[in-house]
Amino acid sequence: MWVSVDLCVVPLGVGVSLAPYVAACQQVIEATGLDFELGPNGTAIEGEWESVFACVQACHEAVHHLGAPRIYTTLKVNTRVDRQQSFRDKVDSVIASRSVRPA
């Protein structure tokens, strides 16, 4: 099943700056070959269910490996069975709709 997620991994007990942990997670995501886009408060990732959730697990493992004793993660999950729609398609659809007024 194709899935699009918004992943936000927050290591706890590591101080104020989270950038090194986010960077480690981004390297994990890049290595999977999944389509993704880093945002200011999370990362959009899409692909086959098993690959995406294996990626989420690998992000947790990488952040723990860097010394985070605890991680709090929020994960938004979106699936469709009628067609495949990328997260970029969804953004483009909203942008295109701005010029259309509802009836």
SS3 of the chain: the string is: CEEEEEEEEEEECCCCCCHHHHHHHHHHHHHHCCEEEEECCEEEEEEEHHHHHHHHHHHHHHHHHCCCCEEEEEEEEEECCCCCCCHHHHHHHHHHHCCCCCC
d(CA 99, CA 18): 38
Asked if residue 55 has pLDDT above 80, the reply is yes
Of 53, 58, 60, 67, nearest in space to 10 by CA = 60
Domain locations in the chain?
Answer: 2-97
64-76 pLDDT, tens digit per residue, is 999 999 999 999 9
Comparing 97 with 100, the larger pLDDT belongs to 97
- Alpha-carbon span 103 to 93, nearest angstrom: 18
> Is the pLDDT score of 95 beyond 90?
no
Architecture of domain 2-97: 2-Layer Sandwich (3.30)
Q: Could you give the CA distance from residue 61 to residue 11 in angstroms, rounded to a whole number?
A: 11
Indicate if the pLDDT at residue 15 is higher than 80.
yes
Between residues 97 and 102, the one the model is more confident about: 97
What pLDDT shows up at residue 102? 64
More confident residue, 96 or 1: 1
pLDDT of residue 99: 75
Q: How large is the average pLDDT for residues 18-46?
A: 96
- Output the pLDDT for position 88: 84
